[in-house]
A and B are shown apart, each in its own frame.
Chain A
Amino acid sequence: MNFFYHLGRYTKTLYSLFSRPEKAAMYWKELFRQMNLIGVGSVGIISIMTLFIGAVTSVQFAYQLQGNLIPMWYIGIIVRDSLMLELAPTLSALLLAGKVGSNISSELGTMRISEQIDAMKIMGVNTTSYLIGPKVLASVLVMPLLIIFGVAFGIVGGLLVALGGTSGFTTTEFIRGLQDPIRDFDTIIMFIKSLSFAFIITSISAYQGFHTTGGVVGVGQASTRAVVYSSIVVIIADFLIAALLL
């Protein structure tokens, strides 16, 4: 199976998401279910991760700033901006590629091999738009919120380090840095990254799951591919966004 075959089928799958839903109410219901699953279900893990990432970043930057001419309060800016621009969106995306991506692909894969998707198709359901559409849309809607949470928890991580008082900067310095105005462009980049990563993860994982073949073994393989491919594409997109927009 070559790259272009998959690219073509992936595009076709995505294109079919735009067909008119049979029954809007069913799609709404599914959308809210997915938002709950993806959004509420990921807040915990994202918070824990970004809390530590924020803490580690501030410890390490404080270490690098020591004996330097750059004032210590810069730490606040650095931690905040690197969380916004890179750490929160990208690391969360990689984490979610594992959590949400494998979940979506194994759910759809199981539905495929147990013929649940065929059963829907025979009823006349537009299976791609009902099974994939709400997942992609839900993740695109909740991802920016998750990232905002992530940035906030990362900053809390930095604050906790400052409170600990062993890393060479104070809470006052850290907060002074945080108060430096946020560039609008940074916020835009953060949102662009959140949206694109959410789309990449869910669409690739759904594609892998939806087209699963080869029984139970195939479900496992599809889920592995979902995580690996969506992580790689996230990193590539991360670079492209930075290279093209910054």
Chain B
Amino acid sequence: MIQVKDLYKSFNGNDVLKGINITMNEGKCNLVIGKSGAGKTVLIKCMVGLYEPTKGEILYDNRDFVKMTDKERKHLRMEMGMLFQGNALFDSMTVEDNVRFPLDMFTSMTKKEKAARVDEILSRVNLKGAHKKFPSEISGGMMKRVGIARAIVQKPRYLFCDEPNSGLDPITSIVIDELIQEITLDLNITTVINTHDMNSVMGIGDKVIYIHEGEVHWEGSGKEVMTSKETELNNFVFASKFWKSIKEDQK
């Protein structure tokens, strides 16, 4: 479980996050949704320590990340995995080297153990026969899978995904969403997903948090999103004709 308490972040006096309070549950996909520029990426980057919050607490099972020393943070980082919007694969390394990198860097596993783990994880994300390929040689969907594999190779307790569907076709998006959901359940991870994709909200939104201009406007389940009366959320959800028509059908 991750609890974010009264989190503020500003850049040069410009407030981006204005007092965020949320709880992310274990074994669930916790979706942070909102328009672009709402502060989703900044929130996730504060949570993993790429940005220092201006104020507030981020509790990882009651351990406050913000107050930790570098050494304590490093420890906690072993329990985190992150999938970046642009994948952030190491392009000088092959797929298997990418996935093995955290193991090489932080474990004393033998070569054989590492190879076995890499195989296990790559087949977990349904990626076979791409071991020796470089990131530039594989498709966007495959890159996402490699990104996920690298994020979970150390069996993290917390997984962060920033716009996991960006740049993917609708079918691949659903496949990737479902993969993240399966992994979340399998490993009982607390997963945080930033998205503005309504398909994801309906498909895997165990818990949905709507952020607007740096503030939490609404919280609930994916299904409740459709029936909410929150004005900003309604503007967001029913911006497209498609979702508007679905709502009208429901009536």
Q: What residues of chain A have their CB less than 8 Å away from a CB belonging to chain B?
A: 22-23, 25-26, 110-111, 114-116, 118-119, 121-125
Contact = CB atoms under 8 A, between A and B. Distances in A.
A26 B104 CA distance: 7
Contacts of A122: 48-50, 77, 80-82
Nearest to A115: B88
A116 B104 contact: no
25 contacts: A22-B106, A23-B104, A23-B106, A25-B104, A114-B86, A114-B88, A115-B84, A115-B86, A116-B88, A116-B90, A118-B50, A119-B84, A119-B90, A119-B150, A122-B49, A122-B77, A122-B80, A122-B81, A122-B82, A123-B77, A123-B105, A124-B74, A124-B75, A124-B78, A125-B105
Contacts of B88: 114-116, 118-119
A23 B88 CA distance: 22
Interface of B: 48-50, 74-75, 77-78, 80-82, 84-86, 88-91, 101-102, 104-106, 150
Given A116-B88, A119-B82, A122-B48, 15 more contacts: A23-B104, A23-B105, A115-B84, A115-B86, A116-B90, A116-B91, A118-B50, A118-B88, A119-B84, A119-B90, A123-B77, A123-B101, A123-B102, A123-B105, A124-B74
Nearest to B79: A124
A237 B227 CA distance: 70
A162 B101 CA distance: 55
Contacts of B48: 122
B42 to A, nearest CB: 13
Contacts of B49: 121-122
Contacts of A125: 105
A111 B75 CA distance: 24
Contacts of A110: 91
B149 to A, nearest CB: 13
B249 to A, nearest CB: 41
Please classify the interface of chain A as helix (H, G, I), strand (E, B), loop, or mixed, using the class held by over half of its residues.
helix
Contacts of A111: 90
Contacts of B84: 115, 118-119
Contacts of A26: 104-105
A115 B86 CA distance: 8
A202 B85 CA distance: 30
Contacts of A121: 49-50
A123 B83 CA distance: 11
A122 to B, nearest CB: 5
Nearest to B108: A23
Nearest to A33: B92
A147 to B, nearest CB: 28
A196 B90 CA distance: 31
Contacts of B102: 123
A150 to B, nearest CB: 29
Q: Which of A121, A122, A125 has the most CB of B within 10 A?
A: A122
A116 B80 CA distance: 16
B104 A124 contact: no
B213 to A, nearest CB: 24
Contacts of B90: 111, 116, 119
Contacts of B78: 124
B89 A123 contact: no
Contacts of A22: 105-106
B142 to A, nearest CB: 17
Contacts of A23: 104-106
A36 to B, nearest CB: 13
A114 B88 CA distance: 6
Contacts of B105: 22-23, 26, 123-125
B234 to A, nearest CB: 33
Contacts of A116: 88-91
Contact of A124 (B50, B91, B106, B150): B106
A121 B51 CA distance: 12
B79 to A, nearest CB: 10
Contacts of A124: 74-75, 77-78, 105-106
